[in-house]
């Protein structure tokens, strides 16, 4: 995902309001939150992107936050118990516990108009470099997984063959090593490369997209093939037809949508085949693959196919889901700031999609991870966000789903305020949210 500042166009807003897409065939609000959430993220690449100084100022403010008294971070929720498969992969997902996204860092893209040094992309959107101390702080708090979103297309020395800049992949590896030194699980991916010149999931661009995925993942997989199983590879981030009327929702009667879903299946399969071929620990590495938009409905859609693993790896391919639900509360900066676990409708809107994921995948032994979730700050609604985060994580864990919070290092000011830790001061902007997550992720 997420964030710089972004305004939904009138058209996209209409789509969101009209469709209300949820996961796995539902037609309520939850899945709309997941898909539209990503809209904002990808728009960080727009020409309106601004240098990160203002973000740094917001980060400075957030470092002054202290735990607010009177907010219950250990609320007891009544949640049904679910049977979780006793497989190696599900035991690994359990051990991943809960995670945190290094958002708006290596995923920053298309900033060439105001950045001359490609290495400055790391701070272009978030205003802070990743440091060993950051991951030590996250580990100490209880996070056991770090997702590092990475855009590659602005870091190619040969665009014909999609050759990655050596200094860029070196820096990515350095940050992965920071995490590994803390014994953290790490997920790396192809993030904001969903463009016509690189990866675009329609029939017209399928051959080129397959070539791009093959080239990038061949280089990345070879670089990391000796890393242990705590490093996971994720094929793509929210693959979709950018700019299409159906960018953020699936029309089951649309041939374009059917074709795009099929192309995404092919791209995921290419990813799996390429990684396995590179050998080393990649022969049995855990791999993560999304459906259309990485939305619940994209995975539960009848056209989605889980890639075939050329090696018998006991379901080591994991489905990636993103869900900021309900959208009006969790991601829409102009939406409601109110949510309560005492309200049955609020609860259904927040986690209804999880039941569908459980029934279609988890109950059948297919691993699933929610590697983006979060709720933006609105009107000082800390108590509501704490309640939501605790309930969301507890509900997901009960169904065998591991969650990874999207953090964009923005806790104050305008835009999607999803930051919960200041990356410079290493102070928790919202310690109550962190505590609620930790109290409900076991």
In the prediction, which pLDDT does 13 show? 35
Residue 263's nearest CA partner among 291, 231, 230 is 291
Torsion angle of alpha carbons 27, 29, 34, 39, nearest 10°? 100
Domains contained in the chain, number: 1
Q: Say if residue 297's pLDDT is above 70.
A: yes
Query: pLDDT tens digits, residue range 56-82?
Result: 333 333 334 555 668 999 999 999 999
Residue partners of 63: CB distance under 8 A and separation at least 6: 422, 424, 425, 427, 429
Does residue 233 sit within a domain? yes
Supply the pLDDT for residue 68.
Answer: 64
pLDDT of residue 415: 87
Q: Is residue 111 pLDDT above 50, yes or no?
A: yes
Q: What is the pLDDT of residue 258?
A: 98
Active site residue 238: yes
**pLDDT tens profile 323-332:** 999 999 999 9
Of 29, 182, 238, 247, catalytic: 238
Q: What are the C-alpha distances in Å from 257 to residues 11, 274, 339?
A: 18, 26, 33
> Does residue 98 carry a pLDDT above 70?
yes
| Residues 160, 197 contacting (CB under 8 angstroms) | no
**pLDDT of amino acid 46:** 35
Residue 122 lies in a domain: yes
Residue of higher predicted confidence among 6 and 319: 319
Q: Decide if pLDDT at 28 tops 70.
A: no
Query: What is the per-residue pLDDT for 271?
Result: 98
Note the pLDDT tens digit of each residue in 162-221: 999 999 999 999 999 999 999 999 999 999 999 999 999 999 999 999 999 999 999 999
Q: Is 217 left (phi over 0), alpha (psi -120 to 50) or beta?
A: alpha
Out of 40, 372, 416, 432, pick the active-site residue: 372
Judged against a pLDDT cut of 80, whether residue 9 lies above it is answered with: no
Cα–Cα dist 402/21, whole Å: 22
Q: Is 191 a catalytic residue?
A: yes
Backbone angles phi, psi at 389, to 5 degrees: -60, -45
In this prediction, residue 4 carries a pLDDT of 38
Confidence bin at 311 (pLDDT 50/70/90) = confident
* Residues 362-420 pLDDT 10s: 999 999 999 999 999 999 999 999 999 999 999 999 999 999 999 999 999 888 999 99
Flag whether pLDDT at 423 surpasses 70. Answer: yes
Percent of the chain scoring above 90 in pLDDT: 82
92 domain residue, yes or no: yes
Domain membership of residue 215 (yes or no) is yes
The answer as to whether 276 is a domain residue is: yes
Give the predicted TM-score (pTM) of the model.
Answer: 0.88
Concerning whether 206 is annotated as a catalytic residue, the answer is no
Is 50 exceeded by the pLDDT of residue 21?
Answer: no
* Structural domain includes residue 3: no
pLDDT digits (tens, 9 = 90+) for 229-258: 999 999 999 999 999 999 999 999 999 999
Q: Are 261 and 291 in contact (CB under 8 A)?
A: yes
Q: What angle do CA 308, 313, 319 make, to 5 degrees?
A: 55
Sign of the Cα torsion 40, 42, 48, 49 reads positive
The CATH number of the domain where 117 resides is what?
3.20.20.80
Give the model confidence (pLDDT) of 43-58 as tens digits.
343 333 444 443 333 3
Instruction: Please identify which of the residues 191, 192, 322, 440 carries the catalytic annotation.
Output: 191
Average pLDDT, the chain: 88
What is the reported pLDDT for 47? Answer: 33
Q: What distance in Å separates the CA atoms of residue 33 and residue 381, rounded to the nearest whole number?
A: 18
Domain range spanning residue 103?
A: 10-439
Residue 5, domain member (yes or no): no
**pLDDT at site 65:** 52
Give phi and psi for 75, each to the nearest 5. Answer: -65, 140
Identify whether 365 is part of a domain. yes
């Amino acid at each position: 995902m997420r964030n710089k500042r972004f305004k939904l166009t009138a058209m996209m807003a209409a789509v969101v309001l009209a469709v209300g897409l949820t996961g796995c065939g539902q037609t309520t609000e939850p899945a709309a939150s997941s898909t539209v959430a990503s809209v904002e993220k990808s728009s960080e690449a727009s020409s309106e992107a601004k240098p990160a100084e203002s973000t740094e100022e917001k980060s400075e403010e957030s470092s002054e936050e202290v735990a607010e008294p009177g907010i219950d971070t250990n609320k007891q929720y009544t949640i049904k118990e679910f049977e979780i498969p006793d497989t190696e992969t599900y035991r690994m997902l359990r051990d991943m516990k809960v995670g945190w996204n290094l958002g708006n860092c290596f995923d920053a893209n298309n900033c060439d108009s105001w950045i001359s040094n490609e290495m400055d992309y790391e701070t272009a959107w978030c205003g802070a470099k990743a440091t060993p101390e950051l991951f030590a702080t996250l580990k100490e708090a209880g996070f056991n997984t770090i997702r590092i979103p990475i855009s590659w297309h602005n870091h190619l020395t040969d665009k014909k063959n999609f050759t990655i800049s050596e200094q860029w992949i070196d820096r990515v590896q350095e940050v992965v090593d920071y995490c590994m030194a803390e014994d953290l699980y790490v997920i790396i991916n192809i993030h904001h490369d969903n463009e016509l010149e690189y990866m675009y999931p329609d029939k017209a661009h399928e051959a080129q997209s397959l070539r791009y995925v093959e080239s990038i993942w061949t280089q990345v997989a070879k670089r990391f093939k000796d890393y242990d199983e705590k490093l996971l590879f994720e094929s793509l981030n929210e693959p979709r037809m950018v700019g299409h009327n159906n960018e953020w929702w699936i029309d089951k009667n649309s041939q374009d949508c059917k074709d795009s879903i099929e192309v995404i299946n092919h791209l995921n399969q290419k990813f799996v085949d390429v990684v396995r071929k590179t050998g080393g620990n990649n022969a049995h590495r855990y791999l993560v693959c999304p459906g259309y938009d990485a939305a619940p409905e994209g995975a539960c859609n009848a056209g989605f196919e889980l890639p075939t693993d050329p090696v018998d790896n006991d379901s080591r391919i994991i489905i990636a889901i993103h869900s900021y639900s309900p959208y009006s509360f969790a991601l829409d900066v102009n939406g409601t700031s109110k949510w309560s676990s005492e309200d049955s409708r609020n609860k259904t809107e927040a986690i209804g999609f999880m039941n569908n994921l459980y029934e279609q995948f988890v109950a059948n032994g297919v691993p699933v991870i929610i590697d983006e979730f979060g709720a933006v700050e609105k009107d000082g609604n800390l108590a509501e966000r704490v309640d939501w985060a605790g309930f969301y994580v507890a509900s997901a864990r009960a169904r065998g789903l591991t969650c990874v919070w999207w953090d964009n290092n923005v806790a104050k000011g305008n835009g999607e305020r999803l930051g919960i830790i200041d990356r410079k001061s290493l102070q928790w902007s919202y310690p109550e949210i962190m505590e609620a997550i930790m109290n409900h992720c076991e």
